[in-house]
Chain A
Amino acid sequence: MSGLNIFQDLLVSAVAMGTPILFAALGEIITEKSGVQNLGIEGMMYIGAITAFLTGLALTAAGLPVLIAMILVVLLSAIAGAMIASLHAYVCLSLRANQIVSGLALAILGTGLSYYIGTVFITDPTAIISEKFTRFSFADGVTIPFVGEILRGFLNQDLLVYFSYVAVIVVWFFIYKTQKGLNLRAIGENPGAADAVGVNVKLSRYIYVMIGGAFAGIGGASLIISAASVGQWGQGMIAGRGWIAIALVIFARWNPKLVIWGAYLFGIAMALESRAQIYGWFDNIFILKMIPYIVTILVLLITFIFSKQKDIGEPESLAKPYDREER
């Protein structure tokens, strides 16, 4: 294989690997922009994954056309993610609990719940979704060296990946170019002022926490039904991606446009695990498995070191409860 071919293969794999994290991080940006921190992404991704697995098995067995079945699976996983996120919203916003502990509880509960539901499938090799999203290639004809490889890296993907490109643009546009987005930023920066001009802070935060959950649900689902995944449920399958997504939000300074590059950087770190072995670069699987986590920690360190202490772009009222009567 030529160097360019390897480069293209690595890029295709990195984009596919980065996409679940990209979805989760996009959702967390929306949630955190509203002033609520949800550390439970790991649990919500698990709920999304198990929902995708169960509904995927059922819907493909029911004989629906694959594409329609898969789109339904994505929708249902998003709903499941939003529902589990509503627990966090309720506990933090209505019961005014500590957001960090509630997020941890959500991570533990989501993981435990999906493990419990999925337990019968881990020993069943026939429980596999064989018909999933498939790749559509748009850049096969491009013959310019390097440019062609890069284009194919991004444009030889499945519908979920293309949907993630659209989602980045839509989320960015929503946050920075619409009235609702302005309100969203306001309730995260200065909820008192937003309240004074008639924005329903509590209701909005509920909605944005649930939208964040929906994105995390889709992120988890994509680990089951994307073209790059095996279509099988497995304990431990999210493997810290939810936490990496939270780091990514900080790295991207809460900006959807920056988050996409971070996601593919982690995608490369994850793609290396298989690619380094295939190409014979390095074969110690345990060291390779460490790389994404070490990269995340290093990137986080660099982000904090090279930004002025307070100015990392964090919403002013992040994780601070808002109560009209206690102002």
Chain B
Amino acid sequence: MIKVEKRLETPKYLLVLTPILSVLVAILFSSILLLVTGEDAIKALDTIFGGSLINWQEVLVNSITLVILSIGVAVAFKMVIWNIGAAGQMMIGMICAAGVALFVPIALKDSIFLIPLMALAAVIGGGLWALISGGAKAIWNVNEVITSLLLNYVALYLLQFLVFGPWKGVTTSGFPQSDPFPAAAKIATIFPTGRLHYGLFVAIAVVIIFYFLLNKSRWGYEIRVIGEGRNVARYGGMSLAKNIIVAMFVSGGLAGLAGAIHVSALEGRLSPHMNTDIGYTAIIVVWLSRLHPLVIGVVSVFMGALLFAETNLPAAGIPYEIAKLLQGSILFFVIAGDFFSRYKVKFVKE
């Protein structure tokens, strides 16, 4: 007979082992699905992981955006506020950064302050966008899952409205995109070849700063306490509404920052190309990392490889959707696998 017992404390090795095993099971599951549907599973895995090693710069380029988004998501999730609108907040960040780059006064066009200004606008824009959900949650207890997700669609159509309409460039020969940004608005690449850019250091800084903020500061402590129980926090004299508003602003602000880095370093203009599922990917990263900022940094590189694979797989003749499927199954197996870190399964002889 099988008996299930709740663990009083989870051993450290299980906290590490279960996510890793879950990812392996997800990879196995996806490979079987590939085989069943007549695709070459070995070739797919080789393209995803081998291809990522060769194109490590592209993987890191994807990871930069992802890690900043994920830290933002983690800030909200720590408080058990479900911000699933990271993609929308990122798009608003892209729009705000582009707005600064395109319409800044001539005097600032070549200034070294242009990129910081774009970043600032993006942080404020993304933060305020997230506050639509966060404020409604704090004041009226409106379900933030739905509002933050639906705002993704509003942000997407706002982006398309701008690049097909008022912000459409005069030099773009009819393509739906803005004019290119001035040169001072572009984040430089680190190496002469490849697209890896100095945003990498921003991402690393974000990880370190938020490691200290979340794990070592008074603010991080309040967030954790609120996340563990609203009533305890209230008895402790912490303002729930204030903390929700701050956390959502920070969460959205980071997503906005990711958007600014994306348009500045990779696009150099505002264009409608956007992976609208990236908010989901960030959630998977955060859950795999158990909300720990440093682990998020590492897991983002792994998921960055999957994001890169989405663009790389079609060239190998394999549908890119397998990378999306793999992401979805990873999250499922991770939460299923968590059972074994929370419960002890015993086989008892009757």
Q: Which residues from chain A sit less than 8 Å from chain B, CB to CB?
A: 39, 43, 87, 90-91, 95-98, 100-102, 104-113, 115-117, 119-120, 239-240, 243-244, 246-247, 250, 284, 286-287, 289-290, 293-294, 296-297, 300-301, 304-305, 309, 326
Contacts and interface: CB of A to CB of B under 8 A. Distances in A.
B153 A116 contact: no
A97 B336 contact: yes
A39 B149 CA distance: 11
B143 A293 contact: no
Nearest to B147: A297
A244 B332 contact: no
Given A243-B146, A293-B150, A297-B151, A95 B161 contact: no
Contact of B328 (A91, A109, A297, A304): A109
B328 A300 contact: no
B161 A104 contact: no
Nearest to A97: B335
Interface in B147-172: 147, 149-154, 157-158, 160-161, 164-165
23 contacts: A95-B339, A96-B339, A97-B335, A101-B283, A109-B328, A112-B324, A113-B325, A116-B319, A116-B321, A116-B325, A239-B153, A240-B152, A244-B150, A247-B143, A284-B165, A286-B165, A290-B154, A297-B151, A301-B136, A301-B142, A304-B140, A304-B141, A309-B141
A272 to B, nearest CB: 14
A70 B342 CA distance: 46
Interface string B115-137: 00000000000000000100010
Nearest to B164: A286
B82 interface: yes
B274 interface: no
A104 B160 contact: no
Contact of B331 (A109, A119, A284, A305): A109
Interface size class of B (residues with CB under 8 A): 35 or more
A98 B335 contact: yes
B234 interface: no
A224 B102 CA distance: 43
A120 B322 CA distance: 13
B154 A116 contact: no
B33 interface: yes
B62 to A, nearest CB: 17
B319 A39 contact: no
Interface majority SS (helix, strand, loop, mixed), chain B = helix
A106 to B, nearest CB: 7
A100 B144 CA distance: 12
B84 interface: yes
A243 B149 contact: yes
Contact of A284 (B6, B161, B319, B336): B161
B160 A300 contact: no
A104 B280 contact: yes
A287 B161 contact: yes
A97 B338 CA distance: 8
A108 B283 CA distance: 10
B89 to A, nearest CB: 15
Interface string B95-113: 0000000000000000000
Q: Which of A108, A113, A119, A284 has most B Cβ within 10 Å? A: A108
A101 B335 contact: yes
B308 interface: no
Contacts of A90: 336
Given A97-B339, A104-B84, A247-B150, A301 B140 contact: yes
Contacts of B336: 90-91, 95, 97
A304 B136 contact: yes
B332 A91 contact: yes
B52 to A, nearest CB: 19
Interface in B308-329: 319, 321-322, 324-329
Nearest 7 interchain pairs by C-beta:
A109-B328, A286-B161, A112-B325, A108-B328, A112-B324, A95-B339, A116-B321
